[in-house]
Chains A and B, each alone.
Chain A
Amino acid sequence: SSEMTQDPAVSVALGQTVRITCQGDSLRTYYTCWYQQKPGQAPILVIYGKNNRPSGIPDRFSGSYSGNTASLTITGAQAEDEADYYCNSRDSSGNHVVFGGGTKLTVL
């Protein structure tokens, strides 16, 4: 299967911990990566590989895996973390790139 499934929306209280999940058969072969996208901006990479953060990404962002599910965890969510988050990987064939449908994170 080439599909990657995300919950459409998640909310978190300021300073609390939130987990955003992504399910897909390809995640049994490929680690996913995660992008953050704010309105009017291009996506930015926040997690890649097993649990790697690009330079400049706060350490409150982390990634984990269980079976065919990948999770992005934000520990101590900040107001500036309110954004859309997308998971992304290659499909099981390795020949195509797939995105999850995106999760809108609201920080209350």
Chain B
Amino acid sequence: QVQLQQWGAGLLKPSETLSLTCAVYGESFNTYYWNWIRQPPGKGLEWLGEINHSGSTNYNPSLKSRVTISVDTSKKQFSLKMSSVTAADTAMYYCARGTLVATIVYYYYMDVWGKGTLVTVS
């Protein structure tokens, strides 16, 4: 059964760069999209971006200038970097596996999630 294990610095100062990594255990790395999502305290989920095994990325347009997602297929890991953080970036950050179905019908879902990493900017 696939599991995602994520890690990274939990306390940052304003203007620093957030860096998180997510490792995939127990499943093929290919054919999926690998996502980062965040959730500020008491608020909803916000998608940050995704990457596939070949390194193709998509980003949330509102954060695109600050977010970079990369992949290391040899280690089955993908990473998030967010530059110039402020207090508004304080949130729980999740990694998640995404599946896109685009045949006769179209849908996308994220069925495996990491446990989350709380990042505080202060």
Please give the residue numbers on chain A whose beta carbons come within 8 Å of chain B beta carbons, in ascending order: 29-33, 35, 37, 42-45, 48-50, 54, 84, 86, 88-90, 94-102
Contacts and interface: CB of A to CB of B under 8 A. Distances in A.
Contacts of B102: 94
Interface residues of B, number: 27
Given A33-B107, A43-B45, A89-B107, 15 more contacts: A31-B106, A33-B109, A37-B45, A42-B115, A48-B111, A49-B101, A49-B105, A49-B107, A50-B105, A50-B107, A88-B110, A90-B100, A96-B59, A97-B58, A99-B46
A97 B47 contact: yes
Interface in B95-122: 98, 100-102, 105-111, 113-116
Given A42-B94, A42-B116, A99 B108 contact: no
B44 A90 contact: no
Given A42-B116, A97-B50, A101-B44, A89 B58 contact: no
B44 A102 contact: yes
Contact of A98 (B47, B98, B110): B47
Contacts of B115: 42
Contact of A97 (B101, B108, B111, B114): B108
Interface string B53-72: 00000111100000000000
